[in-house]
Homo-oligomer: A and B are copies of this chain.
Amino acid sequence: MSISSYYTPTKVLFGKDAELKCGQMVREAGGRKVFIHFGGGSVVRSGLLERVKKSLEEAGLESFVCGGAQPNPRLSLVRKGIEAYRREGCDFILAVGGGSAIDSAKAISYGVPYEGDVWDFYTAKAVPSKVCPLGVILTLSATGSEMSNSSVITNDEVVPNDKFGCNSDLSRPLFAIMNPSLTASVSAYQTASGSTDIMMHTLERFFHSGESFEYTDLNAVTLLKTVWKHTLKALEDPQDYEARANIMWAGSVSHNGFTAVGNPTGGDWSCHRMEHELSALYDVAHGAGLSAIWGSWARYVASVDYSRFAWLGKEMFGISEKEPRVAAEKTIEGFENIFRSFNMPVGLHELGLDLNERDLEALAAKTSWNGQRTLGNFKVLEQADMLEIFRMANRN
């Protein structure tokens, strides 16, 4: 049997001022006392936190505020959140922010009803069977966590840090409120890094060892082109609502499973796994880490199926080159040029890292769990493959 599944129960409200509906949404979901989880001060400075609190108040709901989520969200904060949620007697989590706030909210949502250590879910020692109800107000287009089943947490209590993900349909938010205007204040670097992450969610699912069908492939192209075009527009004019709207919705669709329908493997995901180790060790922005690796991964694996790269290059860039190997290389260059146009790195040096051979070996060892795991399925990568890809990224 070769069956793919698709499940996106998250109710989306999309448009200007949609955040003013949050009180109503929480009330309809049965919440009474809301744990508002967010990241940095921009949610406060922009007045968004006040609008959210007012909407909750008008719906007759209490709230407790817990800020402090940061990029590559930390386990230590998750633990504090679990404690505070229990202590305050909350019954609903509202994440206000981007992937960091949402991912740590998901972790808190796993941890509150669990008697053991929440990190168990990220080391696969336990599987979530119950969560606290969770809703999202999105302020950064990037991780797609607002509709996805995944969260990624960095364990900052060990040295070197570990960065692991936990996937469970239980963590798909009950609702996601998406007002593109809320992303207008995001910096150029974060906008570009977020868009790179979005494109990578599609690329990771596009290259796989399983079956596919044409609509899913063509939609991948539409998503990639949409994010490319509108990111350039948003970088030029951060207030461009239509650009922000296209990026925001493309971000959700690129990671809610839609681009894997018909594809039972669910994608390759090697680059994400490699980047998680990179950012666990060096705390780089996730999207930037991905663009710094992808081209090297692609060149290393392309011979598995040059023609799939060639097809993508034809649809994306109009590459008409007949020789699949050459067309594949041109396709890879095409994507690297997109990343460059976003001012994103296409190698480890551009990421600001200066790694020597020993660093690269340590990275490959950590990524492969000292040879205990392989990555991917488009081409299955062993530790030696990972090392070679990291070396290539270090030379690129």
Listed in ascending order, the chain A residues whose CB lies under 8 Å from chain B are: 1-9, 11-18, 20-21, 213-216, 218-219, 222-223, 225-226, 229-230, 242, 245-246, 249-250, 253, 261-262, 264
Q: Contact check: which of B1, B245, B261 meets A262 at CB < 8 Å? A: B245
**Complex Cα–Cα for A5 and B25 (A):** 12
Q: Contact check: which of B2, B218, B226 meets A15 at CB < 8 Å? A: B2
Nearest-CB distance from A149 to chain B (Å)?
12
Contacts of A242 in B (CB 8 A): 213-214
Contacts of A18 in B (CB 8 A): 1, 3
- Nearest residue (CB) in B for A245 is B213
Asked if B14 contacts A5 (CB within 8 A), the reply is: yes
**Complex Cα–Cα for A223 and B219 (A):** 9
Asked if B7 contacts A12 (CB within 8 A), the reply is: yes
Contacts of A250 in B (CB 8 A): 215
**Complex Cα–Cα for A59 and B199 (A):** 41
Contacts of A261 in B (CB 8 A): 12, 14, 249
Asked if A14 contacts B8 (CB within 8 A), the reply is: no
Contacts of A215 in B (CB 8 A): 222-223, 226, 246, 249-250, 253
Interface pairs A-B: 6 shortest CB-CB: A3-B15, A9-B9, A6-B12, A215-B226, A7-B11, A213-B245
**Complex Cα–Cα for A12 and B8 (A):** 9
